[in-house]
Amino acid sequence: MQRRLLFALGLCLLISRTQAQLIGGEEDEEEEEEEEEEEESIEDETPEEKLQRKNIKQDSNLSVDKLIAKYGYQAEVHHVTTDDGYILTMHRIRNSGAQPFLLQHGLVDSSAGFVVMGPNVSLAYLLADHNYDVWLGNARGNRYSRNHTTLDPDASKFWDFSWHEIGMYDLPAMIDHVLKVTGYKKLQYAGHSQGCTAFFVMCSMRPAYNEKIISMQAMAPAVYAKETEDHPYIRAMSLYFNSLVGSSITEMFNGEFRFLCRMTEETERLCIEAVFGIVGRNWNEFNRKMFPVVLGHYPAGVAAKQVKHFIQIIKTGRFAPYSYSSNKNMVLYREHVPPRYNLSLVTVPTFVYYSSNDLLCHPHDVEAMCEDLGNVTGKYLVPLKEFNHMDFLWAVDVRKLLYNRMLQVLGKQPQAKDIEGEAKGLRIRGRAIGQNAAR
């Protein structure tokens, strides 16, 4: 089994690599869509199911702002230029006058991560329903932030960054933009995975930004990663990355291995298993019906250096800036190895959410991180053993298991319908399909 998964992942990497070298931007989308409109209508389908199927198809192909608008929220698109020239796109679920709340996504993700499961599940909508002015960031290099004042996104110079730069430049630029537009002095922040990593980089390297944040809600913070070294894929990945040294590839995972995943039931299952192999296995909380939507929005593009930097902190066990050759380190950092980020400088009140089946973010590592952060106000281990790294965004029961706790931490009262969880039909279907597939 393990071998088959590795093979699947290898295939994905290979394909994404080849594609990244061959194609630049997104393909033309319009024509194909027209053709598919006439598609088969499935027999015995209730009107409800038909609508659901149509929504899923649409949602896999809408940009984040269009998705937000489709579900009846007021959507806005903003462009923000960083000090080093990257032009980022922010999405906003506008709630004029309300407290701004910035959500920042993880690796290979985009603002889509916070809306992709729809209004009854995803965090951005929940926060909007609780009267926040919700802003969704997009880090440099993802599909919404592939632009620069002088650099060409198809040239390798553009891709010379890791999450260090996302923390140093992207987050500050986006935070300043939100505060400027709204007139607020401080905002609320929540991050998933790398959205936490970059945040802690920012607060330790540019401590003045601590003052601009009311509180940090840190979901699955990938910061210390000692335990991740035993991860089977990480080993494979680091071998893969060693083989990349000196090669021209700098942009990753923007390739379209989607066609492979969509080919048959079996390839779809393999793709999901491949994802589970990386983030932790949890069929019960995975809504397989929504997989086409997930595939439409992931992976959103990432620089190889981002992944290499993560692999460095996994291998060295040190949360530190990117390490080059000893000589270059000496020039850049005046030491042979880069000095660690000083987490005690992160004085923002931080609440941490983590889980026991998160293969990228082991509870031991999270607890060690909490010891070192400057102001941890609490932590919450999700009370479901199988909860994985992506369940923080995708789990069928994520509101019940996680977000309602976050609302409490934020001083909000979860509404009855939040507690009920999302549309029951989806949950039942998600379960049933998941369990069949797991066998």
Ligand X SMILES: *[C@@H]1O[C@H](CO)[C@@H](O)[C@H](O)[C@H]1NC(C)=O
User: In the chain, how many H helices and how many E strands?
Assistant: 20, 10
Q: How far apart are CA 135 and CA 245, in angstroms?
A: 37
Catalytic residue (one of 63, 91, 389, 397): 389
Q: What six digits make up the tokens of 318?
A: 């040190």
Q: How far is CA 247 from the centre of its chain?
A: 27
- Please, which of residues 269-308 interact with ligand X by CB under 6 A? 296
C-alpha distances (whole Å) from 137 to each of 12, 61, 78, 112 are 27, 20, 10, 10
C-alpha distances (whole Å) from 278 to each of 110, 212, 286, 315 are 18, 34, 14, 17
Burial class (CB in 10 A: 0-12, 13-18, 19+), 403: buried
Of the candidates 156, 267, 316, 347, which one interacts with ligand X according to CB under 6 A? 347
Positive or negative, the CA dihedral 166, 169, 170, 174 is: positive
| CB within 8 Å of 304: residues ≥ 6 apart | 159, 241, 244, 249, 250, 251, 252
Residue 345 binding ligand X, by CB under 6 A? yes
Q: Which is nearer to ligand X, 255 or 374 (CB)?
A: 374
Q: How far apart are CA 324 and CA 36, in angstroms?
A: 49
- CB 82 → ligand X: shortest distance, Å? 12
Residue 342 binding ligand X, by CB under 6 A? yes
Stretch that binds ligand X, among 172-180, 316-324, 337-345, 395-403 (CB under 6 A): 337-345
Do 201 and 174 contact (CB within 8 A), yes or no? no
Q: Check if 358 is active-site.
A: yes
Per-residue binding letters, 55-84, with ligand X (x by CB under 6 A): -----xx---------x-------------
Residue 430 binding ligand X, by CB under 6 A? no
Catalytic residue (one of 110, 111, 162, 193): 193
Positive or negative, the CA dihedral 198, 199, 204, 208 is: positive
Q: Which of 160, 164, 209 is nearest to 186 (CA)?
A: 209
Per-residue binding letters, 109-128, with ligand X (x by CB under 6 A): ---------xxx--------
Residue 35 binding ligand X, by CB under 6 A? no
- CB 2 → ligand X: shortest distance, Å? 31
Q: Check if 365 is active-site.
A: no
Q: Check if 389 is active-site.
A: yes
Residue 10 binding ligand X, by CB under 6 A? no
Stretch that binds ligand X, among 122-130, 169-177, 339-347, 354-362 (CB under 6 A): 339-347
- Please, which of residues 204-223 interact with ligand X by CB under 6 A? none
Number of residues this chain uses to bind ligand X (CB under 6 A): 23
Q: Which residues in this chain contact ligand X in the complex, by CB under 6 A? A: 27, 29, 32-33, 60-61, 71, 87, 118-120, 147, 149, 296, 342, 344-345, 347, 349, 374-375, 377, 423
- Catalytically active residues are 193, 358, 389
